[in-house]
Amino acid sequence: MHRDHFYTLTASCPDRVGIVARVSGFIAEHGGWMLESSYHADDIDGRYFMRIEIKADSLPFDLAEFQRRFQPIATEFAMDWRVSDSAVKKRVVVLVSKQEHCLYDLLARWQSKELDIEIPCVISNHEDLRGVVEWHGIAFHHVPVAADSKDSAYDKVQQLFDDVQGDTMVLARYMQILSPALCRAYPGRIINIHHSFLPSFVGAKPYHQAYQRGVKLIGATCHYVTDELDQGPIIEQDVIRIDHSDSVEDMVRYGKDIEKTVLARGLRYHLDDRVLVHGNKTVVFR
């Protein structure tokens, strides 16, 4: 992966002739150097998707001016678009309950700079993982979630996320269902790891469900959170083969390894602006 300072332009729009020519022409006429480009046309929905990385110092203006000058093209093609700056680290707030494996993995990748992000805080409905979080020098917030006070708990979560200017919220085996209001507040910005190969075995204890069903493959799914449980757009999935000799406990153990890697990959795709959402589907430019 290159280390140049670059801007990432992502866009989707109704498919038609001339989109790539117009966008690439705009970049070229300003001396822009394209480091990477990806395109996809959805024939069924008639929609076009693109992702372009542009070397920042090849342009004669900054990000704000790029946005201003590109806006007429975006309007012309009715684009949903954004442009991000690789020099600005994304701020990721992690939500966790008692299971530590996904949190440990994210902290290790953060500490080694494999995930070059900022983690301003970790939020949990239990106190169990305070020690490990604070050992890493990260603020830990305990927000209990009781049956009769869920709305106020999620108001607090939203307040904490806004206070630290979070970009992305990651549910690293956070075993609570977020309120619809919280889900709707951050569309495409809340990522969950579900310990199942969705859409099979939604909800709690999917490995027990899989064991009872006698499946031969188990997996994990990284997806965006919506107000419909475990039904949000899927970012990444993976599976591992099992057989009749594997117990539920074996499946849980295998599953933890898959969950960590799938969450890390899905989060990286999101942070690198490689995921474009369309309806309940995603285009992922790997």
Output phi, psi for 85, to 5 deg. Answer: -115, 125
Burial of 146 (0-12, 13-18, 19+ CB in 10 A): exposed
Q: 201: which residues sit within 8 A by CB, 6+ positions away?
A: 209, 210, 213
Q: Is the peptide bond before 199 cis (omega within 30 degrees of 0)?
A: yes
Three-state DSSP state, 216 = coil
Q: Which residue(s) pair with 80 in the sheet?
A: 12
Q: Rounded to whole angstroms, how far apart are CA atoms 90 and 40?
A: 26
Three-state DSSP state, 88 = coil
Asked about 230 being catalytic, the answer comes back as yes
Q: Which of 4, 43, 148, 230 is catalytic?
A: 230
Three-state DSSP state, 128 = coil
CA dihedral of residues 149, 155, 160, 162 (deg, nearest 10): 170
For the chain, the first-to-last Cα distance in angstroms comes to 12
Q: Which residues are the active-site residues?
A: 230
